Amino acid sequence: MKHKLYNRRGNRYANLGQLDRAISYYEKALSIKPDYAEAHYNLGFLFHKNGQLDAAVKSYKKVVAIKPDYAEAHNNKILSIIYLFNKGQIPDAVDILEVLIKDNPDDALLFNMVGGCYVSQGQPDMAIKYYKKALAIKPDYAVPQHMLNALTGNTSISPPKEYVKNLFDDYAERFDDSLIKQLGYKLPFLIKELILKLGRPRSKFESVIDLGCGTGLTGKELRDISSNLTGIDISSNMVAKQGS
């Protein structure tokens, strides 16, 4: 199959140290088979090695979402940490991270992940400590800088794009349930009601763009009153949920 061929070519270029070419082949493999866990894993590994930490986390999270047992099969501790975090087993995730940090004291990603674990446990002082360590290693690391600002009261005009993408990628699995069942989210239904009250013919809605479409809650309501509906969102995981 062609996606496996592209993945093998990516491996070959990665072994030769030609990371950009390797990444391009992994991405080609994923353009054919978006749920190809091995290619996501290989991408994550290269992004991590190349210092593209937000991209690495995004790829690793996709591996876990597609194939939760991939971490055990490949003995990858970071995948295990993401899996534990998603399951709410935060102390276990922190334990593994602390061990990894001893062997990789210059890996900013690990310190950022510990910070995220402590935030989820309501321990801001510990989170601040680890976010500062991440930034000491990688001063331009946008996510821990934003979290540090939030925890210390230094507000910014807007959160970095990487933070927003990671936030909603993480939230994708439970987004619909949280908004509709827990928070009583009704905006998509209200939007449809308002449009119908306008009394305009269907031809007026030949093309509709749903900006910030998320998992498609609004799109589901607009689908029967639009001929061509396009959804756009910063989070690929949210968009992927529309087909699940």
Residue 171 lies in a domain: no
112 and 17 both lie in a single domain:
yes
180 and 151 both lie in a single domain:
no
- Residue range 112-132, pLDDT digits in tens: 999 999 998 999 999 999 999
Residue 27 lies in a domain: yes
Q: Is the pTM of this model over 0.85?
A: no
- Residue range 71-103, pLDDT digits in tens: 766 677 888 888 888 788 899 999 999 989 998
Residue 168 lies in a domain: no
231 and 145 both lie in a single domain:
no
Domain boundary pick from 104, 129, 159: 159
30 and 117 both lie in a single domain:
yes
- Candidates 91, 92, 88, 94; CA nearest to 112 is 94
State how far the Cα of 83 lies from the Cα of 92, in Å rounded to an integer. Answer: 10
Q: Tell me, rounded to whole angstroms, the distance of Cα 103 from its chain centroid.
A: 26
Residue 149 lies in a domain: yes
Residue 164 lies in a domain: no
Does residue 165 carry a pLDDT above 60? Answer: yes
| Total number of domains in the chain | 2
123, burial (CB in 10 Å: exposed 0-12, middle 13-18, buried 19+): middle
Tokens at residue 65, please?
A: 């979402």
In this structure, of 79-93, 185-199, 200-214, the range with the lowest mean pLDDT score is: 200-214
Residue 166 lies in a domain: no
Enclosing domain of residue 147 = 2-159
Q: Where are the beta strands (DSSP E) in 42-144?
A: none
> What DSSP element (H or E) covers 208?
strand 207-211
